[in-house]
Amino acid sequence: MAQDETADFSNFLESVDRHGETFDVRDVAMPRSMGVPVSEVRRRRGRLADDLETGFRDVVLVEREGVLLWQTAEDVAGQGPGSARRRGRRGLRRGLAGAHILREVTVPVLQPNEYLGALRDTDLHLNAACDAGLRRVRRDATRKGVKFTTDVAGGGPFSGRTLVIVHGTFSNAQNSLDEYAATEVGTAFLSDAITRYNGQVFVFDHPTLSVSPFINALDLGRALAGTTGTLDVIAHSRGGVVVRWWLEVFGDTLRGATVRAVLAGSPLKGTSLAAPNRVQPLLNVLTNIGAFVGKTLGVAAAANPFSLASLALLKFIVRREKNRWGFPPVKDLGDRSSVGAAVAVIPGLHGQSAVSNNFELSRLRATAQRANVRYFAITSDFEPEKMGWKLWKVISEAGTRGKDAAADLIFPAENDLVVDTAHMTSLADDRDISDVCAFGSQAEVHHLNYFRQPRTIASMRKWLEVAEG
């Protein structure tokens, strides 16, 4: 494939090459625990690696019409008439007419008793500080400018003015701080906040896959129990669900505080991206979001949460055979029913799934809002097709091979790339957030760059009374 054809995906391919092994995503030629390269196993048996006999499954990353796709190697080799027995690289090439193979990798197939441990390890790989909990934000001057770092929070409870920043899925506190540091207005806001809150600006690091938002909220509530005065919160994405559980369910510990919470792109009614009845090629969506963000924001491979997440989740949804514990088989990474079932066994995703039988969210939304809490929201309706990006094509068509050709898009209406826009302000079926900074329909502001927007910063200064200078 010509260099100019792969240029748009260089950041994501760097993630695969640099971080794949961390998440057990390895080139097919690399030795595995069986003692020989997977390619040798295929050669000896005359067919592709099969999870029943080798403990691994081959996966291929391809580019088709400007879109990245993950597909299992045996499915690719079996595409097209008369190709059921097609094997090896030649079979892959023939099965991918009109597409370009970018990487061929292999991943282990997890056994049922390995799921929770693997999820825990994945959280640690995505965020080595996921158990750090509450950390104090510090402003450091460097030769290149201002950098925000963290140190031990110290003991609570806190009084006076306190600000807490809560990150979203796949992310971490340092990524959140780096978003502010990426622009002059963001740097000025956070610097002023450290002054206005008398040094009581904190971030909350937490795992986002192995546990549900409810468990994160329990930890956050314990860390800030008894806090009085003015307590302000800025939460991004799934962090908004964590904050709602904390404030509404564990709010008795904050009776002496007046709380203002800014929720940016938060799936308060869930996100269709994690809804089993709508998820088709989940990995493909995350991969393309990661590639897009890497290109448009210049996010380094090591800090790109969606690129890393797509690698991290591969081994969780490649099982072919059903087992007695009920962990689902995934015969095709574009098969929405089987991939959707796999999502259900990942607590951190399932807890924000936009489906009517999400009993966690239903109970949260049925909780009465506390009198001492006021919410604000930041929303966007991002339309990538306006900039020629073909992501929605992969959402609706990739991996269907005709059987789900009439399937709905993941998002039935407006969204910011990750969360349904209408869900970002919905506290309950009859109660919405009224104070909203809405970016509306456009092709600039999406889920990953809210805090780089001057309007976002201006709104937060107003809502939280953070004066300049």
**CATH number, domain containing residue 392:** 3.40.50.1820
Specify if 341 maps to a domain.
no
d(CA 412, CA 277): 12
Q: pLDDT of 58-82, one tens digit each?
A: 888 888 777 787 777 666 655 444 4
**Cis previous bond, 157, omega within 30:** yes
Specify if 340 maps to a domain.
no
Please indicate, yes or no, whether residues 147 and 104 belong to a single structural domain of this protein: no
CB count, 10 Å around CB of 310?
29
In the chain, the number of structural domains is: 2
At 137, the pLDDT band (50, 70, 90 cuts) reads very high
Q: pLDDT of 93-104, one tens digit each?
A: 444 556 788 888
**CA distances (Å), origin 95, targets 76, 77, 91, 98, 104:** 5, 5, 6, 9, 14
Please indicate, yes or no, whether residues 94 and 29 belong to a single structural domain of this protein: yes
d(CA 320, CA 300): 33
Tokens representing 379 are 């929303």
User: Amino acid identity of 296?
Assistant: T
Q: Are 95 and 86 in contact (CB under 8 A)?
A: yes
Phi-psi region of 70 (alpha: psi -120 to 50; beta: other; left: phi over 0): beta
How confident is the model at residue 264, as a pLDDT? 98
Please indicate, yes or no, whether residues 229 and 369 belong to a single structural domain of this protein: yes
Specify if 124 maps to a domain.
yes
CB count, 10 Å around CB of 335?
22
Specify if 339 maps to a domain.
no
Please indicate, yes or no, whether residues 258 and 170 belong to a single structural domain of this protein: yes
Please indicate, yes or no, whether residues 249 and 357 belong to a single structural domain of this protein: yes
Whether 132 shows a pLDDT value over 70: the answer reads yes
* Cα-Cα end-to-end distance for the chain: 52
Please indicate, yes or no, whether residues 83 and 181 belong to a single structural domain of this protein: no
Phi, psi of 461 (to 5 degrees): -60, -40
Tokens representing 59 are 């996966």
CA 419 to chain CA centroid, nearest Å: 10
Structural domain span for residue 77: 3-109+282-333
Specify if 344 maps to a domain.
no
Specify if 345 maps to a domain.
no
Please indicate, yes or no, whether residues 8 and 88 belong to a single structural domain of this protein: yes
Please indicate, yes or no, whether residues 123 and 246 belong to a single structural domain of this protein: yes
Specify if 71 maps to a domain.
yes
The pTM assigned to this predicted structure is 0.83
Which range of 42-56, 151-165, 341-355, 410-424 scores highest in mean pLDDT? It is 151-165
Specify if 304 maps to a domain.
yes
Q: Are 203 and 152 in contact (CB under 8 A)?
A: no
What is residue 232's DSSP assignment?
Answer: E
Q: pLDDT of 436-466, one tens digit each?
A: 999 999 988 999 899 999 999 999 999 999 9
Please indicate, yes or no, whether residues 164 and 194 belong to a single structural domain of this protein: yes
How confident is the model at residue 374, as a pLDDT? 97
Please indicate, yes or no, whether residues 124 and 103 belong to a single structural domain of this protein: no
* CA nearest to 420, candidates 455, 365, 377: 377
